[in-house]
Structure 1
Amino acid sequence: MSDPTTTGLDGVYRAEFGRAVATVARLTGDIGTAEDAVQEAFAAAVRTWRRDGVPANPGAWITTAARRRALDGLRRESARGGKEREALRATPAPAEPDDPGLPDDRLRMIFTCCHPALAPPARVALTLRFVCGLRTTEIARAFLQSEATMAQRITRAKAKIRQARIPLRVPPAALLPERTPTVLAVIYLMFTEGYFATSGPRAVRDELCDEAIRVGRLLCDLLPVEEHAVRSEAYALLALMLLTDSRRSTRRTTGGELVPLDEQDRAAWDRAGIRAGLDCLLIAAEGGGPYLAQARIAAAHAVAPEWAATDWRAIVAAYDELMSYAPSPAVAVNRAIAVGMRDGPERGLAVLDEIADDHPRAAGHPVAAARADLFRRAGRPSDAVPEYRAAIAAAGNDAARGYLRRRLAEAEGAARTHPSPAAGS
């Protein structure tokens, strides 16, 4: 039987690890020191909480314990005589005290993880680790690499930050435009990991969705009005997140199972969030780019009063626009689904077949799940069954597997009573 304290601590770890590291790193000026202190704090929590119970504010407990451990470690280092100057030279200076205009530790951490001195794969790995709070094994799975390889990448990136003395700060206003596009990509990565959790027991990580939107708002407020292009891009991302997030509460059953878009209770969608997203979309409309195209897709879903009234022509057009900016197998698969909704499931299946021909490696959960759903909608349950099985095998999230298993059972039942007709009949 699992230990309830340890089980509950896993949720606290996912919710609070990144926040705690960001706070302690600001105080110490070093991500590695902060990470070690937070890890020690969680180890202490296992012992203490098992004895005394989980505190009312576990995140504050972890951050306070980590801060004390980090400061104690720095005091010990400074007491080692001749090593003091060496330690000071090796450790970046702590971030500047809170400025009323730049109040956020998480935003500082994002800009540090996205510093141009770091290679793009390292930026993503650091963000997943220190902003999203994913464990190394989870990041390795996302990169399709071994845990040892990913651990080395993260270690080298932390060493680069230390050796290059990259400061934990939001850059000066003059550097914001050139640094912002990378930061926007990281904020979106943070949001998507919250909205579509790649692993773990939950389909949605609410704390990451909330943090991504909050940090996205902060960034929009920071950007100068005269920087039209990058400001439009930031507002497009904020619109995309707000419009998508408006459906978050309806994406799960009380048991945690995923609810597809066509089965969600639209009356329960967050109307204030939709209005805020549409307002941001108006600001972003003067620009362009992939976030704007995706925000238009999210807006088409958000304003449709019911599934049958969805403007699939507008959605396919937005996917065509998105493909011109950021072509990828994943975008192509989603476009094929939209084509299937606009022109019929058989046409969508044909487009998916074209994708498979062009991208033979574009297999796995998204493609199999898309094919399964289109087969189901086409009244071909026997063809849907193997696709659902393939999607289940490739899914990394417990809640996603639960939803797919339900669909598989439905398809198997339908296949027994109504065998699939031949394609095109």
Structure 2
Amino acid sequence: MRWRDAAVAALCLGLLWAAPTRAQEGRAQDAQRWATAWAGSAQGPYPVGNPSAQPDQGFAFPDPAEGARDQTLRLVLRPDVWGREARLRISNAFGTRPLTLDGVHAGLQLGGAALVPGTNRPVLFSGKDRVTVPPGGEAWSDPVALPFAADPDAALLAGRKLAVSLHVVGSSGPMTWHAKALQTSYATAPGAGAHGADEDEAAFPFSTASWFFLDAVDMAAATPTPVVVAFGDSITDGTASTMNGDDRWPDVLSRRLHARFGNRVAVVNAGIGGNQVVGPAEYGPQKPFPGGPSALSRLDRDVIGLSGVASVIWLEGTNDFSRNGEASLQAVQDGMRAGVARLRAGIPGVRVIGATLTSAKGSSSPAHGHPEQDEKRRGLNAFIRDSGLFDAVVDFDAATLDPATGGLRPEMVPESTTGGKGDRLHPNRAGYLAMGSGIDLGVVLGR
């Protein structure tokens, strides 16, 4: 990048960051210090949800009502930026009993459940190595130093994965989870005790394609670091992309932004498979739904409560129109108006970007692909493009549409996760690559 381009980019980012931001209540003094580097939206109590490529969980969690029992989970995730310090948000949003954790650690993944020797660090909560989170509650950890990230801009850190280990004391009860991680994590056997300090993988025989209890990771930001939140359903969550491949459309967007701005911007994924804008009308531990709580009911936790949010890209509505939702076009439009208003009130200065819905025409899913649904989809896309509600629009429909059929382009149909034939609803890796590559970066961060 020429010096003039770099200067302009830095100025744009500085101006964007000068707009007021809102982190979670009680953290106002930290608002400019922390940037959310990873998120895994809490969607309900295990096992209600839509995981992809999930191994048999019966050995790790034989009784969902009891949840995890005296065992350690090693959750693997990819922070979108690094910092010299991190902090973790633990969620018991959909638990029905207090969740007690101890022996929490964070280290650099080597491979599988093994860690790079010397990188694992204990994580404290208010100075203690144990935390109890009430039902429906959450808790932030104290900052934990990451010596291996002493130079957060180091090229060799880019794309590396953090392993967060949590020991569940006693039985957790129903486990708050994010079903569709598309990332392999690990668990000890029930009753195995605390193994978060272990750097080897011997104690972690079981694997999972989901995340449990952990729903956000912040990194200390030494320079202005605007956070872009990708908010939506399974097409943001990454269904049919490559397992462990980090090739959802937000991942593609992230790599493009980092190529331009380095470790100065973060993209986090707040998608939930099956999510709707306005439905279901009721949601809770006793009345869960596979797609999680509605977008409107989770805005505070999954977007407004994150640190340093500067832009939101909202791609959603397909499931509202499905036979699982049966919402009217007007209801979804009204829901989007309400959601955008709440985002702007909760995060002054935020850019809210609307994304057009990709086609599900001809889908093999019995809930999707019907003519009346495609009519609503096209109506919502016209609203997104023309209503003036959004600060900008990204046209995912144009990037993926086959004009000859009105469905997805043929090369975007075969599933990348398991190699199946695809459902004509979820784009594969080729589709997500086209979506992420087609976004104007100036639209995302403001020109």
Q: Of Structure 1 and Structure 2, which has the larger fraction of its residues in helix?
A: 1
Please give the TM-score of this superposition, normalised by the length of structure 2. 0.33
Please give the TM-score of this superposition, normalised by the length of structure 1. 0.34
Q: Which has the higher contact order (CA 8 A, sep 6+)?
A: 2
Q: Of Structure 1 and Structure 2, which has the larger fraction of its residues in strand?
A: 2
- Tell which structure's C-alpha radius of gyration is larger: 1
